[in-house]
Each structure stands twice: as C-alpha cells, then as structure tokens.
Amino acid sequence: MRLGVLDVGSNTVHLLVVDAHPGAPPVPAHSHKTELRLAELLDAAGRIRAGGADRLVAFVREALQHAEDKGVEELLAFATSALRDAPNGDDVLTRVTAQTGVDLQVLSGEDEARLTFLAVRRWYGWSAGRLLVLDIGGGSLEVASGAEEEPAAAYSVPFGAGRLTRDLLPGDPPDPAAVKELRRYVRAAFARDLGRVVRLGAVDHAVGTSKTFRSLARITGAAPSTDGPFVRRVLRHGALLEWLPRLTRMSAAQRVELPGVSAGRARQLLAGAVVADAAMDLLGVPELEICPWALREGIILRRLDALARQA
C-alpha cells in the first residue's frame, strides 16, 4: 500500500510517501518538505506565534494535496517537541484539524525515542547486538538503548539544536563564553540521566540518526547523501573535537558553505555539535554509525506491524 507520513518537527515539516507492506522495507516514493522552524517562531512566553500557526496550516494543506496527487491511501500525521512543549500547542492542533481535517498526533519524548529505536533495530538487525541510539532534533535529544526490538531505556531531554541556539547561543558567531556556558549546562544536565543507559551495560553498536548527526558526519568526512543509503557513514568523536573550535568561530554564512549543511540548519549546527560531543564523551562512545532510518520510518514500521496483526 502507499502510505504517507506527515512529520511536524521543530525544524522541518516533512511529508514522506512510501510504498510499503508488512515484511518488506518501506520504499520512498515522494518527499515534500519545508524548513518551517516552529521552534524559532515563539513569543516570549514560548507560545507559537499566529504567523507560525498560519504557515503550519498552509503547509499541511499543501502536503494533503501532494498526498492525494501521489495516491496515498493512508496518512499518518504526527508532531514532536515544538507542539508538545508550546503552552498553546493544543490550540494550534485544534486549528490544524479544523482547517485541514488532519488530526496531528503529538508524540511524547519517550515515544519518539522508542519509535526511532525500532527503525534503527530493523535497519541493522539482531546481529547489531545491544544498541545505543541518539537523535538530536530541533527541540530535543532522544536516547534509547537495549538488546531487543523494544528498548530497555528510552527518554528525551530538551537539548534540541534549535532550542539551545535560540535560548543560549545569541550572536553570529556566538560569544565563546556563551559556548562554554552551553557546554557546561548540557554536560551537567545530561549526566543526571546517564544511569538509565549505563546500568544496562556495554553497547555493541552506537548509532546517530537524523539531520544534525548526518551533517556533523558529513563535515568530518562521511560520504555525501548522493552515494546512497547503504554506504557506511560514521561520526568519530576525535574528528568532532577537531571541528568544534572551528564551528565556534564560524558565522552561519560560513557554516552553510560546509558540505551537507543547509541554510536553515547552519546557525544551530554548533549547538548540535556541543550536544553530540557531550553525549559521546559521557557515554564513552568513540564513534557513531549514521542510520538512514529514524522516527518517520519507525512510525511506518509500527503501522505495518499493526496491519500484519490484523491480517
């Protein structure tokens, strides 16, 4: 069947259309997205501004037309931290439903971590052993670990690259003192939750997913996306440490000239690098393999599992 997944994230709103059936990997057929950056369209109280809601409604309508044009039989629509955390998130969701007919399901941070873990497990298989999965989004960082298909530990912390840039890294380039304070803050807060995964024991395979990790891997030497999804790509902690001082000195305009860095993500790449460094260092991970599947694929796989049970 042809499924559509509408992902309303903190940075990007993305419609992915796939051809899928139980027992086989989903095959991408169409992609339509915009860098809406909801996490930046907030007022002083953290509420999504009217203009941000207007843009979201407009894109959802546009995505619906694309889905219809591509023959989508079922649309799975969900939202993550930008709408989950905004005080007026429910109001925005109600407006989206009233004006487009799309019922966006808001995922908890733990659900995000579990569904991303499912996608990574299916990509690498059981031979990967105990997995550690890290996903830096615009609003949050998801962490999951385990030896089975359901992770033994899964949680979310508010360390998204967009959120941290907005709140703690003003300036372009930012003041080095602000970067130092961000590093201290992230490490102190991240360390409080380390026990959730550390107590599970050593991992066999550490994985990073989604755009921030892909961009960091690319600037440190990983193959470009044009080489296809089956090329092994890694982010090595040593290479990341070499790049951190350079990223600190760069403006957003300079970062966008780096391979694999989009204009919409350039400003927040430094915050993402600080989070990646903290996670890899505190968890003792010398390298992360970059998985091409993440949350959207996890949503699709969970739906296919449900269809298989119904058959």
pLDDT in tens, 215-243: 999 999 999 999 999 999 999 999 999 99
Q: Which of 103, 111, 191, 180 is nearest to 151 (CA)?
A: 111
Q: What is the mean pLDDT of residues 190-217?
A: 95
pLDDT at 14: 94
pLDDT in tens, 120-161: 999 999 999 999 999 999 999 999 999 999 999 999 999 999
Looking at 3.50.50.60, 2.120.10.30, 3.30.420.40, 3.40.50.2300, the CATH number of the domain 2-106 comes to 3.30.420.40
Q: Do domains 2-106 and 125-295 have the same CATH topology?
A: yes
17: left (phi over 0), alpha (psi -120 to 50) or beta: beta
pLDDT at 279: 97
pLDDT at 133: 98
DSSP-based three-state secondary structure for 125: coil
Decide if pLDDT at 182 tops 80. Answer: yes
Cα dihedral value 74, 137, 207, 178, nearest 10 = 180
Query: Which CATH superfamily, name and number, covers 125-295?
Result: Exopolyphosphatase. Domain 2 (3.30.420.150)
pLDDT in tens, 20-47: 988 889 999 999 999 888 878 888 888 9
The structural domains of the chain, with segments of one domain joined by +, span 2-106, 125-295
Decide if pLDDT at 311 tops 80. Answer: no
pLDDT band at 7 (very low <50, low <70, confident <90, very high): very high
pLDDT at 234: 98
User: How many whole angstroms separate alpha carbon 209 and alpha carbon 198?
Assistant: 20
